Amino acid sequence: MEIVISIDIGGTSTKLALVHLKTGILEKTAVPSQGYKSQKRYFEKLFEEIATLQSRLDFSYTLLGIGIGTPACNTKKGTIEGAANLAFLNDVPIVQLFEEKYKLPVFLINDGNAAALGEGLFGAAKGMKDYIVLTLGTGFGCGIVTSGIVLQGASGKAGEFGHIVVRKNGRKCGCGSKGCLDTYVSASGIKRTVYKLLADLRLESRLRSISFDQLSPKMIYEAALEDDKIALKAFNYTGKILGQKIADLYTIFEPEAIFLSGGLSSAGNILLEPVLKTARQHVMPFYQSKIAISPSALALNEAALLGAASLVWKSNH
């Protein structure tokens, strides 16, 4: 049996899995991405976790290779470059590190692109050649497939749609710019919006009792379900900005569909309604009846693991 090690490095956690081409994910786990004493300790932790996953398999297998999804990767150099939420990994020769440890081929891919590949192979985009996956996690990720090919750019850094400036002199972004989409439409973006609304308005809200560090998108969602005005306004504000930018994506790419994944997308219609309404208002009239925005068909966090793994099979077949 041929299997692949797959790793998805996010701003908050690093997901690891052993994946089979047909069965999908066999074993998986996750560890925090940050808070290690050193970079070396972080990688040692990943190696340990991979060994644990391997020990759980009770059949013989061949390891074909390793697929790694990260934000802001430079696929030509095999490094992460200028990642807003992963400063401690910038310019680390991550591909080389894994090649030396495992003596296996290692493939690096933007995490958004990995999610798009995963959605196309195992999820809601099966059979589509033109589609986009937006991952609303700690940060805003994006994978764009056109004519069946993942948009890569000259060195694999294309698709950083989260760093489009949506507000002039807007919120400070980890990338060094201001007003990036990422700072509004992401788990951390909606938290910032809630805090801005709590500061600006005098509305009562259960969210006033929660600290910034404790606040999660899930709490905002649960408050919204109970008609908390601040929470509802936060989703509406987030959805409007996302809707405007989805209109841009339609005008630029003419996708068959756009899929939303990641923690924030779990809010369902509370987010989707303002997104759809605003997207229809901003798109060329030609697209108004054609806009299709759906949730990902894959379990949270699995799309990128499956997509990163698929690079190894692709190179083998």
Q: What residue ranges bind a copy of itself (CB under 8 A)?
A: 72, 81-82, 129-130, 144, 146-147, 149, 151-161, 163-165, 175-177, 244, 247-248, 251-256, 282-286
Question: Which residue's CB is nearer to a copy of itself, number 132 or number 305?
Answer: 132
Closest CA to 105 of 5, 2, 1: 5
Q: Minimum distance between the CB of residue 245 and a copy of itself, rounded to whole angstroms?
A: 10
Residue 256: what are its φ and ψ, rounded to 5°? -70, -35
Question: Which residue's CB is nearer to a copy of itself, number 78 or number 263?
Answer: 78
Question: Which residue's CB is nearer to a copy of itself, number 231 or number 283?
Answer: 283
Question: Which residue's CB is nearer to a copy of itself, number 89 or number 220?
Answer: 89
Q: What is the torsion angle, in degrees rounded to the nearest 10, for the CA atoms of residue 117, residue 123, residue 127 and residue 131?
A: -60
Contacts of 305 (CB under 8 A, 6+ apart): 6, 7, 8, 15, 17, 19, 25, 28, 69, 114, 118
Distance in Å from the first CA to the final CA of the chain: 15
Under DSSP, the state recorded for 34 is S
Q: Minimum distance between the CB of residue 307 and a copy of itself, rounded to whole angstroms?
A: 17
Question: Which residue's CB is nearer to a copy of itself, number 269 or number 281?
Answer: 281
Q: Minimum distance between the CB of residue 188 and a copy of itself, rounded to whole angstroms?
A: 17
Q: Minimum distance between the CB of residue 248 and a copy of itself, rounded to whole angstroms?
A: 5
Q: Minimum distance between the CB of residue 301 and a copy of itself, rounded to whole angstroms?
A: 24
Q: For the chain, where are the alpha helices, taking DSSP H only?
A: 39-56, 94-102, 111-122, 187-200, 217-225, 229-253, 269-282, 302-316
